[in-house]
Amino acid sequence: MVEIKTILFPVDFTEASEKVARYARFFAEKFGAKLLVLYVVEDLMKYAGFYVPHAALEKMEKDLFEGAQKRMGEFVEQNFSNMEVEPLVSSGEVAEKICEMAREKGADLIIMGTHGRKGLEKALFGSVAEKVVKTAPCPVLTINPFQKS
């Protein structure tokens, strides 16, 4: 029998994440699973060759990380009050870090939205959900946050 003891829920703090949070909560409660909520700060060092000073990128990444930690606290409070949740903030390439964290934390399931970025940003960076589905160490439940529920 399949056991779901740990669920990883990657978020990007968009409206989509708020909608998918209901599903993450539902599944965690139904399975009695531990819920890990993960936000990944994109690694800005890949832009170091674009005439941006290294120190400026490091400071910006530090500021983004601190801001993400604050926003994570608010997001967890808003969406998962009265639940035991492990908030995680990490940095790196988003899809890779999600899969790495799933392996590291022993996730049995990843629940994530099919939509986050839109328009040009999605075209430039590709679909995070698609990359995760292809490389995840466990099953991935993708949810279209904009479908009627």
Q: What is the CATH number of the domain that holds 38?
A: 3.40.50.620
Residue type, 26: F
Pairing assessment for the beta strands 140-143 and 109-113 based on DSSP bridges = parallel
Residue 138 lies in a domain: yes
Structural domain that includes position 96: 6-143
The Cα 79–Cα 84 span in angstroms is: 12
The Cα 121–Cα 33 span in angstroms is: 33
Average pLDDT, the chain: 86
Q: Which residues, 6 or more positions from 82, have their beta carbon under 8 angstroms from its beta carbon?
A: none
Return the top range by mean pLDDT from 101-105, 112-116, 123-127: 101-105
Predicted local confidence at residue 120, as pLDDT: 44
How do residues 64-107 score in pLDDT, each as one tens digit? 889 999 999 999 999 999 999 999 999 999 999 999 999 999 99
Residue 104 lies in a domain: yes
Half-sphere exposure (Cβ direction) of 109: Cα atoms closer than 13 Å: 20
How do residues 127-147 score in pLDDT, each as one tens digit? 888 999 999 999 999 998 887
Judge whether residue 57 has pLDDT over 70.
no
Residue 44 lies in a domain: yes
Residue 148 lies in a domain: no
Q: In terms of Cα–Cα distance, which of 104, 96, 89 is closest to 128?
A: 96
Residue 47 lies in a domain: yes
Residue 149 lies in a domain: no
Q: Tally the domains of the chain.
A: 1
Residue 42 lies in a domain: yes
| pTM confidence score | 0.86
- Binned at pLDDT 50, 70 and 90, residue 125 comes out as very low
The Cα 134–Cα 149 span in angstroms is: 26
- Binned at pLDDT 50, 70 and 90, residue 116 comes out as low
Q: Are 20 and 69 in contact (CB under 8 A)?
A: no
Residue 1 lies in a domain: no
